[in-house]
Structure formats: structure tokens, C-alpha cells
């Protein structure tokens, strides 16, 4: 019985290994000639300070870790550049505790972005209206809404960058 079980597991492993499944966000959508990506600072068209800096930093980090390409914070000496602008930023309380304080906030970011080859200006990936929406819990210590928004900015930038990089790497 044990031998049958081991053989069955081995056969299933071989079947599933060749079925084409892969980890999301590590896809092979980027062309082979793109070995380095520059990410100049995004343009911030919102009234939320520091948003473009945090998003740009996180995009660099996500691309470096997940694309396995060399990344830099500029346009010089790279095969492609990721250009973009944040066009809107909203954060709204969506759930309240019995005292009327926000328990959960929802953040919505809209951006325009494109990955463009530097050699021939071809567009590798583009999103003219990329919408990111995520909810974040508010701590129970009673911080003011503006403080909570500032604290959530790091998480927002990281999650936004993850969504953009996944979209690029998977070709969505």
C-alpha cells in the first residue's frame, strides 16, 4: 500500500510540474532584451505629500525582487523605464466603532503608468487608468484620521507597487 501511495504522489508531482502553473507576479511577460529597468520618480497630481516618493521607492523594490532585473532610480543606462503619475488619492472611513471613530479606512489610488523600452520607444506595458483600492484597519488607540492616513501610507505604497508590478510581470 505504501509503495502505491509513493508512486501515486510521484506521478501526480510530475503531472502538475508540467502543467504550466507558476507563481503569480513572477511571470515571464518582460521581453528578453529588457535586462534593466529605470524608475524615475512618479509625478504626483494629488494633494497628498510624499505619495510619489513612497510609491517610487516601493516600485523599485518590487521590481528588483520580483523581476530579477537590474533596477535604478532614473532613466540613464537602462533598457526600459517605468514612467507614471498618480492622478488621484482618496481615503475614506468605511467602518466605525460604537463611539463613531473610524475602524477601517479605504484608500483608492488612480494612476497612469507605462513601461517603455529606451532603445526604440516601444510600449511594453501601459495602464492609462490603473485603479488600486484597499481597506486598512485603524488602530484602537484613538488616533486622528489624518494620523492614521499617514501611518497607512507605507502599506498603501507597498500594496500599490505590488499590484502594478504584478500587472507588468503578468502582462495584464
Q: So what's the pLDDT on residue 21?
A: 40
**pLDDT per residue over 27-44, tens digit each?**
467 999 999 999 999 999
pTM attached to this predicted model: 0.77
Q: So what's the pLDDT on residue 149?
A: 67
Burial class (CB in 10 A: 0-12, 13-18, 19+), 16: exposed
Radius of gyration of the chain from its Cα atoms, rounded to whole angstroms:
21
Complete domains list, the chain, with CATH: 2-170 (3.30.160.150)
Which cell numbers in the block locate residue 22? 507558476
Residue 153 has pLDDT above 80, yes or no: yes
Q: So what's the pLDDT on residue 154?
A: 84
Which cell numbers in the block locate residue 143? 488616533
**pLDDT per residue over 84-123, tens digit each?**
999 999 989 999 989 888 888 899 999 999 999 999 999 9
**pLDDT per residue over 61-81, tens digit each?**
999 999 989 999 999 999 999
Q: So what's the pLDDT on residue 141?
A: 59
Residue 20's pLDDT band (cuts 50, 70, 90): very low
Q: So what's the pLDDT on residue 146?
A: 54
DSSP per-residue letters across 51-69: HHHHHHHHHHHHHHHHH-S
**pLDDT per residue over 116-147, tens digit each?**
999 999 999 999 999 999 898 887 655 555 56
Amino acid at each position: 500500500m505504501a509503495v502505491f501511495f509513493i508512486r501515486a504522489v510521484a506521478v501526480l508531482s510530475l503531472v502538475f510540474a508540467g502543467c504550466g502553473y507558476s507563481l503569480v507576479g513572477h511571470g515571464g511577460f518582460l521581453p528578453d532584451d529588457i535586462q534593466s529597468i529605470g524608475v524615475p520618480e512618479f509625478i504626483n497630481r494629488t494633494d497628498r505629500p510624499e505619495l510619489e516618493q513612497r510609491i517610487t521607492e516601493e516600485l523599485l523594490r518590487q521590481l528588483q525582487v520580483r523581476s530579477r532585473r537590474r533596477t535604478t532610480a532614473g532613466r540613464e543606462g537602462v533598457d526600459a523605464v517605468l514612467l507614471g503619475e498618480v492622478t488621484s488619492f482618496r481615503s475614506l472611513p468605511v467602518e466605525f466603532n460604537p463611539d463613531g471613530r473610524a475602524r477601517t479606512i479605504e484608500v483608492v489610488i488612480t494612476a497612469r503608468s507605462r513601461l517603455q523600452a529606451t532603445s526604440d520607444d516601444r510600449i511594453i506595458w501601459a495602464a492609462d487608468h490603473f485603479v488600486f483600492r484597499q481597506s486598512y484597519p485603524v488602530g484602537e488607540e484613538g488616533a486622528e484620521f489624518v494620523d492614521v492616513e499617514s501611518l497607512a501610507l507605507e502599506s498603501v505604497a507597498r500594496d500599490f507597487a505590488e499590484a502594478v508590478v504584478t500587472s507588468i510581470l503578468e502582462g495584464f
